[in-house]
Amino acid sequence: MLKFFRKLSIRYKLVLILYMIIVPMSFGLGSYVYNISYRNAYDTTERANKEIVTQVSQAISFVGRDIDEMSIYIAKNNLVFETLSLPAAVRSHDALERWRAEIAMRLFINEIMAAKDSITSISIYGNNNIGPFRETNDSSIPVESLDKVCKTAVFDEADARKGGPVWSYEDVDAQSLFESAGSPKLISSRVIRDNSANAVIGFLSVAVNESYIRGICQSALDGGFFRFFDQNGRQLFTVGDPLEGDTLSSMELIPDMGWKVEYCVSTLALSQQLDAIQRGIVVLLCAIGIGLLPIIVLVSRSLFQPLQTVIKGMKRAQQGDFDVQVTLKQQDEIGAVGEGFNSMVKDIKTLIETTYELRLREQEAEFSALQAQINPHFLYNTLDSIFWKAQRAGQLEIADMTYALSRIFRLTLNKGQGLTTVSAEKEMILYYFELQKNRFKDRLEYSVDIQDEILPCIVPKLILQPFVENAILHGFQDLDRPGRLKVSGHREGDRLCFVVEDNGAGLNAETAKKLERGESPGYGVRNVAERLRLQYKNEHVFRVEHNLPQGVRIYMEISVSKQTDELGGGGPDVGRTENG
């Protein structure tokens, strides 16, 4: 495929490249539009569901609040309280009073049920053998005694709430508060308490038929269905026909009941709407792609026809006709190419004529370079002569200094190589310390602690000596105490770590940061920072730790590289006696 593309003319390459750019961009734009449309459609459906479920939740909450208020009214009513507070023992003189109380209670309950069409059952149980008072307007049958009620979980929860309401649900098969529910019911229950005696004197339940709640939900159904859950997350009942496939749902809390209602709709209609949007986007993209083809072809032809003229002129120049000139009317980049070609052809003759002269100058430069290579050998020979003369004169200190200088010079040149070994760097530092010790005497103390295992490793040359020299020349210059220098090196995994630290004059934070960035005014330190960056591509650590008013710590960390056969040596050694 790549070979075929290379053989195409620039004109057709441009057409292909433009299509390779336009097509992905178009599909990207189409995907973006589709995603926006999907999000909008999804959000619209979700908002509509939220409004429906909120409306139903508020309506049911209103019913629940109304039932709870009616339940409070009944529990606090004087007639109910006095009736449930009558003595349990039946005596002859109060039997008539008990009978009148029962009649009054039943009339009271019937009046409430007549006033509230949402209520289908009211049951009041006392623990004084009066009642129970059970009134229903359907075929349901509440349980017959308080003893059975006390055995239910509803009673336990109501008792724990100290008179607060408890909502429960019973279907036709339930046998909790009803022997036979007749039809599913939503029940608000509470215990009736005598606060002065801190005792439960009765139990009250008010029931609403599920059909009443269904009527509220049916008016809000819009192709979906409702699900109701109690405070424990157990599904109680549904309103509407459950849907197959994926659904989109919204859930809302019914505050006054503690239940939750969920409204679910099918995603089928949403999917159909999105499919129509997707088809429209695909058709639009195809139309754009087909419509752009002739436009791109015409534009490419107008652009590349002048280039053909330039190509013909180039072929004539290849055949040796350097008098050829091309004429183009364009004043754009292609016109500039034509002018450049004409200028190039004119200059070729001049270049040919000057080639010979340039070659002569290159030979002169090569000769000068060969001469420059002789200078190191001259310096070695001179140092060798000084060394042997000092030996013969008994000036062993001068001989040692000459030898040290020769070794430093040899290790610095390193046969022109930019890399060396840790062993060579250590040797150079020791000889440098030897020279400086002769100058500073007791004012200089030093130690070199480099592990033997890293001596064969490869490092850029001269990465330690510039920092040693910088510490001696600048850190110890005005020091009123002996200067101490420590150079150490060790290995951590696949990394080499070097530290150069002194007790000389300290640095401020700004100067330390400049040294780390390679902005040192001194050439040596700046050169080391730059070479580390080039050699290790910023995969190294170079840190200057300042400690005013005294002391600087240079920390370097680089990757491990083993010695190669090409490294080592730098020139002939100056001779040295055993006592040197």
- Say if 299 falls within a structural domain: no
The amino acid occupying position 315 is K
Residues of the domain holding 350: 322-370
Kind and range of the H or E run holding 423 = helix 422-440
CB atoms within 10 A of CB 566: 9
Residue at 68 is within a domain: no
pTM summary value: 0.46
- Residue 419 in any domain: the answer is yes
- Domain contains 432: yes
Under 8 Å between Cβ of 199 and 124: no
pLDDT at residue 580, rounded to an integer: 33
**Torsion sign across C-alpha atoms 176, 179, 180, 181:** negative
Residue in this structure with the two tokens 């200057």, named with its chain if needed: 544
Question: At how many degrees (to 10) do helices 333-372 and 268-318 cross?
Answer: 60
pLDDT at position 568: 47
What's the pLDDT at 496?
95
- What is the predicted pLDDT for the residue at 430? 92
CATH code of the domain in which 83 resides: 3.30.450.20
Q: Do 208 and 151 share a domain, yes or no? A: yes
Q: State the total domains in the chain.
A: 3
Residue type, 158: A
In the prediction, which pLDDT does 495 show?
Answer: 93
Question: Is residue 377 in a domain?
Answer: no
Do residues 330 and 410 both lie within one domain? no
CA atoms 294, 300, 306, 307: torsion sign: negative
SS3 label, residue 274: helix
Please, what sign has the CA dihedral across residues 276, 278, 283, 287?
positive
Same domain, 414 and 526: yes
The domain spanning residue 450 has which CATH number?
Answer: 3.30.565.10
d(CA 67, CA 90): 34
Does 83 lie in the same domain as 181? yes
Helix (H, G, I), strand (E, B) or coil at 405: helix
Structure token digits, residue 69: 């208020």
Query: Beta strand pairing status for 483-492 and 495-505?
Result: antiparallel
Alpha-carbon distance 441 to 434, whole Å? 10
Whether residue 263 contacts residue 247, with contact meaning beta carbons closer than 8 Å, is answered with no
Q: Which residues contact 402 (CB under 8 A, 6 or more apart)?
A: 383, 386, 387, 390, 574
User: Where does a domain end: 186, 204, 220?
Assistant: 220
Same domain? 433 vs 350: no
Cβ proximity of 264 and 251 under 8 Å: no
Residue 358: its pLDDT value, please? 43
Amino acid at 494: D
Question: Digits of tens for pLDDT over the chain (580 positions)?
Answer: 666 766 666 666 677 777 778 778 877 887 888 788 778 878 888 888 899 999 999 999 999 899 999 999 998 898 888 888 877 655 444 667 778 888 888 899 998 888 888 899 999 998 877 778 888 888 888 888 888 888 898 999 999 988 899 999 888 776 688 888 778 889 999 999 888 888 888 999 999 988 888 888 988 887 889 999 998 889 989 998 887 778 888 999 998 788 999 999 887 777 777 778 888 888 887 887 787 777 777 777 776 677 777 777 788 877 777 777 877 776 677 777 777 878 887 777 667 655 554 454 444 434 444 444 445 666 767 777 787 777 778 777 887 788 878 888 777 777 767 788 999 999 989 988 888 888 888 888 899 999 999 999 999 888 898 888 888 888 787 777 888 999 999 999 999 999 999 888 778 888 888 888 877 776 678 878 888 887 787 788 999 887 766 788 999 999 988 655 445 444 445 554 333 3
In a domain, 275, yes or no: no
Confirm whether 228 is domain-assigned: no
Structural domain includes residue 229: no
SS3 content of the chain, % helix, strand, coil (to 5): 55, 20, 25
The pairing of beta strand 141-142 with beta strand 178-180: antiparallel
pLDDT at res. 421: 92
543 and 424 within one domain: yes
Same domain, yes or no: 345 and 416: no
Residues 345, 469 share a domain: no
Which of 186, 203, 220 is the last residue in one of the domains?
Answer: 220
